Amino acid sequence: MRERRKGPISRAAGIAEGVAATMRRIQRDREPRVLLYDESGYARLLQPEARGRERVLELGDEMVRLLDEAQQAARRARRAG
């Protein structure tokens, strides 16, 4: 069971720990990653040393950038005319 914090300093430290944990989680979620799912929905994380992982990430990034560029070009065209 989690120990109950007593006193304002202890409570402030508890809040800071919570914020730090949330920031770590957000940071982790934003890290590039590749997940492979089998038929039953079981997920497997492709490890950094796995063959093909870098290429998969590169292609994913290229696909996102292709759409970003198209969106920016459309925005520019709208503004121009």
Partner 1 sequence: MEALTPEQTPARLCELSADARAAVLLDAAGALAGSSEDDPDRARALGEMTRELMEAVDAAGGEPAEQVEVQVPGGAVYASRNPRWTLAVVARRSALSSLMLWDLRAVLGELDGAPPIRRAVAVEPAQDGPATEEAAAGESPVPELGAELEP
| Binding positions for partner 1, rule: CB under 8 A | 29-39, 41, 43-44, 46, 50-53, 55-57, 59-68, 70
Shortest distance, position 81 Cβ to partner 1, whole Å = 18
Q: 19 or 59, CB closer to partner 1?
A: 59
Whole-angstrom distance, CA of residue 2 vs CA of residue 6: 12
Q: Residue 78 in 3-state DSSP?
A: helix
Give the separation between CA 19 and CA 13, rounded to whole angstroms. Answer: 10
Pick the closer one to partner 1 by CB: 7 or 41: 41
